[in-house]
Chain A
């Protein structure tokens, strides 16, 4: 159903029931008020008559003539005269009846005229009260009350039709007003439908056409200065923008289609390339495997060779050292001082070579051994190593500062080797300091050199020892590389190489920072 018809039905549905409800309520209210008002007025009039009667009776009583027939008749005649011409509205009148003969005193009756008071009804209603009675075709509303001293009943009557005249007039007026209101209401709703519903309907049709792709549909126009006008104009603008956007979108879709085609070709080419790369990779991997196998074999051969060489070299060295010792022990007295010194040098060289060979073997074992990663408490390890160093050299004054709770994930055996090398190095190079200081700890995001990658956790061992020339820092981790004379600081030059091997096996980095006589700091990551 069209919206405008719905609105018309709504208007009828609202106006008619409301109007009828108000009318019915009004009719009932007026009828009730009419009855109530007439009850009060009629009662007041009857009471007024009775008051006159009572007053007259009282005067007669006080004058001592209440029982004098002539006086009573005179007083009654005066009362009847007073109310003879009484009128209450158009049909209301006062009637007075004398009991028990039911003789009508007022209005006076002509001879042979029947009384128009229904005395039986009065008796039936009791001493006083309101009642309705059909008098011929007329409905009458009555109120009566009696004055027993005179045996009088005063009756007030009014036609119900007159009593409810206001109700009927109201009903007529309301009917006309309702009809007029209905017409005016329908006109207002028609105007409402024309100014609000019609534009909304046009909007609806336009929106429907646009939703079906009909961009050529005429858009609704409105000059109304209200929300519907604003909506119509906004819808038109929005539709125009949508139409333009739709055109742009079509162009872009076409361009996208071209791009897709080109991309499809490129993807095909890319897939072919990938296929080729895959084949090449497979070939490369095959080659790497072959090379790795060859390298492994070569490495095993090299290690076996190194082990054999080292092991085999130890026997003659032990002989050289042993016989040199025997020479010194057995024939030392026959040798002069220079000869003894030479033998001592031979022994020293052979022992030193043996040490070198041991170190090489050690380095080799470390490189070849299996690595087991697990959480490691580096602070505890550093404390342990420090205590051993202090125990072995109790005369040294070295302040060992170990940062607590430094943890790491690595092989505990290898990491102990790292800390033993770095701490013993620091211990060694602070040997000429009266008060040495060695620190172990951990920093975050610390990058001391340009080459060092930015890392999250950096472990360090710092000392205030002899330091080194930073120009040679690259050589520090080479095998048998030394930056000091052996008589200054003993060593084989294999320790830091070992450290570097272990750190590399953990996937970390190791580097050093220092200056001559200003101490050194070794950093490593894991």
Chain B
């Protein structure tokens, strides 16, 4: 009889210990993951292997690290599929995922996501939306509104143009890129904003057109904005790099980080900044902030890269101040050709 009572007591103590331990673990997890159970859906306008999207995702995941938030990603892939119907269908797929996943916050990056998801389905609802990477005027989307806030994507074009003008021997400028809508929009903005309509356009569709246009541009302008190769069909990166290294004679530049092999100067916005902002803002909303209370902001960080290959090709000597603030690539170009310095310089 006594043995049974003792066994019963031991069992009660054992079970109590298990329950207490489980509660303590839950409590520790709550402290470790304060937004456990919250869900975010990131709707990306582009594809997963697009560098810009990768950068946003990296910043987003860094911001959400340790928060316990469940992140789900949907790539609309509108960069590789330029058809309008595809874009609309991608928006509808994203809406369906929202209905199934029932996220607490939606992050929509770049313009297509705004155009085909947020504006038709999410704007002025109870679901908080954070946008980023938006280039177009916010008025076109009716932003900001009660449930939408975000970060405008401001290209670092002003700084790039300033540096190119310092290095260039004349004032004539040109812009090069794929002959696509986005590129035309951007080119128009540059032309209007920096060059008073004097900017020459070199918009091409194929790699062959590119080479021809590039050679022509070297003859016609004093500086060239080779903004983006995306959308140029038949693009051969190695061949392109070798081609521009051989034929560059004027300072060239871009605001897109993946364009640094082809340009003398690259001042790129940082996609991680966009993702970092989106993640941090989502956590603020989880903490109680309303989207309407969070003002729309602009990106501020930039990464400068100078390509010594292009500098040497253009016979340009870059100042120390520029080398000091930039990432220098293409150093190998001087390794073969350098001779010992004469004494008493």
B321, A62: Cβ atoms closer than 8 Å: no
- A21-67 residues with Cβ-Cβ distance < 8 A to B are 55-56, 59-60, 62-65, 67
Number of inter-chain CB pairs below 8 Å: 63
* Residues from chain A with Cβ under 8 Å of B331 in the complex: 63-65
Type the 1/0 row for A88-118, where 1 means its CB is closer than 8 Å to any CB of B: 0000000000111101000000000000000
What is the CB-to-nearest-CB distance from B311 to chain A, in angstroms, rounded to a whole number?
A: 9
Q: A7-15, A72-80, A134-142, A300-308: which one contacts chain B?
A: A72-80
Whether a CB of chain A sits under 8 angstroms from the CB of B308 is: yes
B323, A59: Cβ atoms closer than 8 Å: yes
A101, B340: Cβ atoms closer than 8 Å: no
A98 CA / B341 CA spacing, docked (Å): 14
B328, A63: Cβ atoms closer than 8 Å: yes
A151 CA / B341 CA spacing, docked (Å): 11
* Residues from chain B with Cβ under 8 Å of A150 in the complex: 345
Whether a CB of chain B sits under 8 angstroms from the CB of A70 is: yes
A75 CA / B332 CA spacing, docked (Å): 20
Complex partner residue of A63 from B308, B340, B343, CB under 8 angstroms: B308
B334, A68: Cβ atoms closer than 8 Å: yes
Whether a CB of chain A sits under 8 angstroms from the CB of B166 is: no
* Residues from chain B with Cβ under 8 Å of A62 in the complex: 323, 328
A151, B308: Cβ atoms closer than 8 Å: no
A240 CA / B342 CA spacing, docked (Å): 109
A70 CA / B338 CA spacing, docked (Å): 11
A173 CA / B321 CA spacing, docked (Å): 49
Whether a CB of chain B sits under 8 angstroms from the CB of A69 is: yes
Whether a CB of chain A sits under 8 angstroms from the CB of B11 is: no
Q: B107-115, B174-182, B190-198, B312-320: which one contacts chain A?
A: B312-320
- A234-261 residues with Cβ-Cβ distance < 8 A to B are none
What is the CB-to-nearest-CB distance from B329 to chain A, in angstroms, rounded to a whole number?
A: 10
* Residues from chain A with Cβ under 8 Å of B338 in the complex: 67-68
Whether a CB of chain A sits under 8 angstroms from the CB of B4 is: no
A63 CA / B324 CA spacing, docked (Å): 8
Whether a CB of chain B sits under 8 angstroms from the CB of A71 is: yes
What is the CB-to-nearest-CB distance from B253 to chain A, in angstroms, rounded to a whole number?
A: 18
B340, A67: Cβ atoms closer than 8 Å: yes
What is the CB-to-nearest-CB distance from B88 to chain A, in angstroms, rounded to a whole number?
A: 49
Whether a CB of chain A sits under 8 angstroms from the CB of B2 is: no
A70 CA / B333 CA spacing, docked (Å): 14
* Residues from chain B with Cβ under 8 Å of A99 in the complex: 344
Complex partner residue of B319 from A72, A74, A98, A101, CB under 8 angstroms: A74
What is the CB-to-nearest-CB distance from A4 to chain B, in angstroms, rounded to a whole number?
A: 78
A101 CA / B323 CA spacing, docked (Å): 30
What is the CB-to-nearest-CB distance from B333 to chain A, in angstroms, rounded to a whole number?
A: 9
Complex partner residue of A60 from B320, B339, B340, CB under 8 angstroms: B320
* Residues from chain B with Cβ under 8 Å of A151 in the complex: 343-345
Sorting the interface of chain B by its residue count into under 10, 10 to 19, 20 to 34 or 35 or more gives 20 to 34
Type the 1/0 row for A334-365, where 1 means its CB is closer than 8 Å to any CB of B: 00000000000000000000000000000000
- Chain A residue with Cβ nearest B330: A64
A203 CA / B317 CA spacing, docked (Å): 99
A59 CA / B325 CA spacing, docked (Å): 9
Q: Contacts A69-B341, A100-B344: A64 and B308 contacting too (C-beta < 8 A)? A: yes
* Residues from chain A with Cβ under 8 Å of B344 in the complex: 98-101, 103, 151
What is the CB-to-nearest-CB distance from A31 to chain B, in angstroms, rounded to a whole number?
A: 39
A71 CA / B338 CA spacing, docked (Å): 11
* Residues from chain A with Cβ under 8 Å of B318 in the complex: 71, 74
Q: Contacts A64-B328, A64-B331: A78 and B321 contacting too (C-beta < 8 A)? A: yes
A64 CA / B342 CA spacing, docked (Å): 17
* Residues from chain A with Cβ under 8 Å of B328 in the complex: 62-64
Type the 1/0 row for A351-392, where 1 means its CB is closer than 8 Å to any CB of B: 000000000000000000000000000000000000000000
B334, A72: Cβ atoms closer than 8 Å: no
A73, B345: Cβ atoms closer than 8 Å: yes
Interface centre among B323, B328, B332 (most CB of A within 10 A): B323
Complex partner residue of A72 from B335, B339, B341, B343, CB under 8 angstroms: B341
B324, A59: Cβ atoms closer than 8 Å: yes
What is the CB-to-nearest-CB distance from B70 to chain A, in angstroms, rounded to a whole number?
A: 43
A63 CA / B331 CA spacing, docked (Å): 7
* Residues from chain A with Cβ under 8 Å of B345 in the complex: 69, 72-73, 76, 98, 150-151
A74, B340: Cβ atoms closer than 8 Å: no
A55 CA / B325 CA spacing, docked (Å): 12
A74, B317: Cβ atoms closer than 8 Å: yes
A151 CA / B344 CA spacing, docked (Å): 6
B320, A75: Cβ atoms closer than 8 Å: yes
Complex partner residue of B320 from A68, A70, A78, A100, CB under 8 angstroms: A78
A191 CA / B16 CA spacing, docked (Å): 102
What is the CB-to-nearest-CB distance from B282 to chain A, in angstroms, rounded to a whole number?
A: 39
What is the CB-to-nearest-CB distance from B85 to chain A, in angstroms, rounded to a whole number?
A: 49
What is the CB-to-nearest-CB distance from B319 to chain A, in angstroms, rounded to a whole number?
A: 6
* Residues from chain B with Cβ under 8 Å of A60 in the complex: 320, 323
* Residues from chain A with Cβ under 8 Å of B308 in the complex: 63-65
A78 CA / B166 CA spacing, docked (Å): 15
A71 CA / B339 CA spacing, docked (Å): 13
A56 CA / B319 CA spacing, docked (Å): 9
What is the CB-to-nearest-CB distance from A102 to chain B, in angstroms, rounded to a whole number?
A: 9
A59 CA / B323 CA spacing, docked (Å): 7
Q: Contacts A55-B324, A69-B341, A72-B345: A64 and B335 contacting too (C-beta < 8 A)? A: yes
A73 CA / B342 CA spacing, docked (Å): 12
* Residues from chain A with Cβ under 8 Å of B339 in the complex: 67, 69
- Chain A residue with Cβ nearest B342: A69
A74 CA / B320 CA spacing, docked (Å): 8
Q: Which 3 interchain pairs have the tightest Cβ spacing?
A: A64-B331, A63-B328, A101-B344
CB-defined A-B contacts under 8 Å, sample of 5: A60-B320, A67-B340, A78-B319, A98-B345, A100-B344
Given contacts A59-B320, A65-B334, A151-B344, 17 further A-B contacts (CB under 8 A): A59-B323, A59-B324, A62-B328, A63-B328, A65-B323, A67-B334, A67-B341, A68-B334, A68-B338, A69-B342, A73-B317, A74-B319, A75-B320, A76-B345, A98-B345, A101-B344, A151-B343
